[in-house]
């Protein structure tokens, strides 16, 4: 069910939610958190779809605040829309589209709609404030999720995160590394248990995930990591491969095609393994599983990134790959 409330107020939206609850049952029961999505006007639907899918694992109230990315001369007004039932997954969605001066105070638009005594998570699917923890919405959230890769300047956005990080901040560029980190950890957890003497990470020139992976490996393995901007994109962007050198020979994990990687290890057959590109839904669901600060991410952005050397440019060949 979708209920449109043009030129409305937060109070009117709250009363309508109560009315819907009374007429259609206790739709708010079982909600475990409030997710605030801050996005540009017209860019709401992809984020709402991801939130609806993630709500099947994390029932929640979703508050979408949509504003113009630049000041406008529009008359101050708020157009709201409430979605429940089949149009909202296992959540209830409130979309607040603010125009003119009504968009200057997003906190006031949603304060009266937060679930009582429930954690608050804020998510910026596109461009995020320079310091999310100091923004109007960020100040009321326990967890603050950004996506540097969706910024017009991904590496610049990652640099801002590194300088403004506060406990509770995280970024989908880090979440997308989960499968890479798990695979590399699994490989190194097998005999022979030899120290890694050198590491090389290569990926697209604008990939913040490549930077974060290199910083994480350097912190964990205590060796200098060489970053290389690959001139061969393998039909995709982002991380393209990792090479770990040990005395027994190199270990190479290379994403040769979308969602599949080639693993090469000394004295073992070459394997193709699944290495999926994670969807917005997967990333959001993972981040909503924890409401405490991600200390490892904090260490990587505050310490690891600054210790990396500048990247170089090159191409790569996978030994044993067809």
User: For residue 45, what are the contacts with CB-CB under 8 A and spacing of at least 6?
Assistant: none
pLDDT of residue 31: 80
Instruction: Give this prediction's pTM.
Output: 0.91
Nearest to 148 by CA among 121, 128, 175, 176: 128
pLDDT by 10s per residue, the chain, length 322: 899 999 999 999 999 998 988 886 545 456 889 999 999 999 999 999 999 999 988 899 999 999 987 766 778 999 999 998 877 777 899 999 999 988 889 999 999 999 999 999 999 999 999 999 999 999 999 999 999 999 999 999 999 999 999 999 999 999 999 999 999 999 999 988 999 999 999 999 999 999 999 999 999 999 999 999 876 544 457 899 999 999 999 999 999 788 899 999 999 999 999 998 899 999 999 999 999 999 999 999 999 999 999 888 865 544 443 2
Burial class (CB in 10 A: 0-12, 13-18, 19+), 185: exposed
**Which neighbouring-strand residues pair with 241?**
202, 254
**Which neighbouring-strand residues pair with 271?**
263
Report how far residue 53's alpha carbon sits from residue 116's, in angstroms, rounded to the nearest whole number: 23
CA atoms within 13 A on the CB side of 50: 22
Asked if 142 contacts 148 with a C-beta cutoff of 8 angstroms, the reply is no
Which of 2.30.30, 3.30.70, 3.30.1330, 3.40.50 is the CATH number of 2-172? Answer: 3.40.50
Report how far residue 243's alpha carbon sits from residue 228's, in angstroms, rounded to the nearest whole number: 11
Asked if 204 contacts 288 with a C-beta cutoff of 8 angstroms, the reply is no
Is the peptide bond between 9 and the residue preceding it cis, with omega within 30 degrees of 0?
no
pLDDT of residue 319: 41
Report how far residue 81's alpha carbon sits from residue 22's, in angstroms, rounded to the nearest whole number: 18
pLDDT of residue 318: 42
Burial class (CB in 10 A: 0-12, 13-18, 19+), 59: middle
Q: How is the chain split into domains, by residue range?
A: 2-172, 178-314
CA pseudo-torsion sign 194, 196, 197, 201: positive
- Count CB neighbours of 43 within 10 A: 15
User: For residue 322, what are the contacts with CB-CB under 8 A and spacing of at least 6?
Assistant: none
pLDDT of residue 316: 53
In order, the DSSP letters of 93-160 are: EEEEEEEGGGGG-HHHHHGGGSPTT--EEEE-SS---SSGGGSTTGGG-SEEEE-GGGSSSHHHHHHH
């Amino acid at each position: 069910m979708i209920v449109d409330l043009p030129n409305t107020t937060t109070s009117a939206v709250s009363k309508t939610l109560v009315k819907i609850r009374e007429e259609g049952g206790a739709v708010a029961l079982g909600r475990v958190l409030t997710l605030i999505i801050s996005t540009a006007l017209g860019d709401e639907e992809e984020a709402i779809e991801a939130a609806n899918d993630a709500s099947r694992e994390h029932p929640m109230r979703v508050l979408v605040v949509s504003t113009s990315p630049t000041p406008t001369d529009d008359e101050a007004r708020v157009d709201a829309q409430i979605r429940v039932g089949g149009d909202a997954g296992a959540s209830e969605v409130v979309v607040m589209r603010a125009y003119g001066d009504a968009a200057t105070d997003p906190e006031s638009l949603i304060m009266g709609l937060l679930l009582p005594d429930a954690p608050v998570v804020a998510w910026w699917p596109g461009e995020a404030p320079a310091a999310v923890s100091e923004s109007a919405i960020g100040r009321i959230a326990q967890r603050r999720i950004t996506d540097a890769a969706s910024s017009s300047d991904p590496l610049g956005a990652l640099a801002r995160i590194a300088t403004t990080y506060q406990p509770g901040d995280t970024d989908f560029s880090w979440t997308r590394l989960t499968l890479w980190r798990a695979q590399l950890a699994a490989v190194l957890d097998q005999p022979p248990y030899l120290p890694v003497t050198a590491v090389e990470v290569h990926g697209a020139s604008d990939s913040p995930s490549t930077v974060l992976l290199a910083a994480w490996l350097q912190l964990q393995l205590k060796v200098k990591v060489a970053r290389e901007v690959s001139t061969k994109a393998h039909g995709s962007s982002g991380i393209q491969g990792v090479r770990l050198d040990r005395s027994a020979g190199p270990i190479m994990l290379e994403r040769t095609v979308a969602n599949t990687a080639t693993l090469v290890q000394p004295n073992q057959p070459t394997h193709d393994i699944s290495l999926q590109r994670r969807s917005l839904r997967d990333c959001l669901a993972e981040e909503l599983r924890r409401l405490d600060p991600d200390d490892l991410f904090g260490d990587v952005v505050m310490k690891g990134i600054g210790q990396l050397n500048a990247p170089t440019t090159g191409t790569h060949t996978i030994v044993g790959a067809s």
